[in-house]
A and B are shown apart, each in its own frame.
Chain A
Amino acid sequence: MAEKLPIIQNVTMSYSGLFDVKELYSAINEWFKDKGYDRREIKNEEHVSPSGKFIDIEIMPYKKLSDYAKSVIRIQITMHDVKEVEIERDKHKVKLNQGSIEIIFDSYLETDYEGRWEQTPFYFFMRTVYDKFFYKNYTEHFEEMVASDTREMEAMIKSFLNMYRFRK
């Protein structure tokens, strides 16, 4: 089993107001694609009710940093009371969504994701020694990369949602 080192845990972002669900979803997926992450969607749930839609998405894209380490960012997006509204912008009618969003970010560094170094106790011991004494600099560098990617993703979503807050 791979070793998972948590880098960022339970960072939450909330927003309430106007946004576009499709655009937000596409923006997140495009960002990950541009950064070289492979897409992985765990769950996508949508409930239609009279008060609006409830949408729950969980994605966990990953990126292989080397043949030993992998960056994994987990994002859980929950949207409540999502309704379709029409607003006038620049004399044009635009269809948007209104509701509240909560986004939770987690990220971790997964090492030995192929399980090559846990086949025997000796291999496991060698891996631990190697991680602690020889590979430490690389692991720290990878941790910084994962943290930086997560913060960048968070900033991108914040600026995307703020765009709707100010452009009414």
Chain B
Amino acid sequence: MLDKNKNIPPTVLKYKGIFDIGALYKFMSHWLINEGFEFYETKYKHKPPKIEINWEANKRITSYVKYIMEIHFYFYGVNDVEVIKDGAKRKMQDARVVITFSGKVETDYPDIYGDKNWEKNKFFVKAKKFFENYIIRQDLDVKHIDSFYYYILRFYEDVKSFLGMETVGGLS
């Protein structure tokens, strides 16, 4: 089990070079949408030459378990440049970026009315704790927390590949 609070530890990606911020944004947002995540942009701060963006992507796995992926972008030193790529002139940016991938597995997530089914009274709260610590512990650890971590790593590898980083291909 990675964390008894069901948090996935953060993984940080830092890159400095020439790339297309818009194309990166589109690639990552489409990746999340294609994988079935509900995608929310919780923060967008543009103060040239810095850009700071926070994303939250949710995916309901079962009626009890939900995956939440949190991505934080920090672009700084952004300068517009024109490069010749594949024989055509393209506008890109010479920038530094720090992308932090983290997440958590939420159990007993709120229903459409905003209520948590297992927090109606003290008995249910204790029953939920017992249920998660002794009955479905292995299911949570292996089926959900570990597999969600590798899911985030797959996204991380795809982003590295998009940026053209050398250290790609860690997940086989």
Contacts and interface: CB of A to CB of B under 8 A. Distances in A.
Interface in B81-129: 96
Contact of B18 (A26, A46, A48): A48
Given A38-B146, A46-B17, A22 B168 contact: yes
Interface in B137-168: 146, 150, 153, 156, 160, 163, 165-168
A39 B166 contact: no
Contact of B167 (A33, A39, A49, A55): A55
B137 to A, nearest CB: 10
Contacts of A21: 166-167
A44 B12 contact: yes
A29 B170 contact: yes
Contacts, number: 75
A18 to B, nearest CB: 14
A144 interface: no
B165 A44 contact: yes
A151 interface: no
A168 B17 CA distance: 31
Given A44-B13, A46-B14, A48-B18, A115 B166 contact: no
Chain A at the B interface: SS class:
strand
Interface string B2-19: 001000010111111110
A42 B166 CA distance: 17
A47 to B, nearest CB: 4
B14 to A, nearest CB: 4
A39 B170 CA distance: 9
Interface string A1-44: 00000000000000000000110011001100100001111111
B170 A48 contact: no
B17 A25 contact: no
A40 B9 contact: yes
Contacts of A30: 172
A45 interface: yes
A47 B12 contact: no
Contacts of B172: 26, 29-30, 33
A109 to B, nearest CB: 18
Contacts of B160: 44
Interface in A111-149: 114-115
B1 to A, nearest CB: 6
Contacts of B1: 114
A100 interface: no
Interface string B32-51: 00000000000000000000
Interface of A: 21-22, 25-26, 29-30, 33, 38-49, 53, 55-57, 82, 97, 114-115
* Top-7 shortest CB links A-B: A48-B17, A45-B14, A47-B16, A21-B166, A29-B170, A25-B167, A43-B12
26 contacts: A22-B168, A25-B167, A25-B168, A25-B170, A26-B169, A26-B172, A38-B146, A39-B150, A39-B153, A39-B171, A41-B153, A41-B156, A42-B9, A42-B11, A42-B12, A44-B11, A45-B12, A45-B13, A46-B17, A46-B167, A47-B14, A47-B15, A47-B96, A48-B18, A49-B16, A114-B4
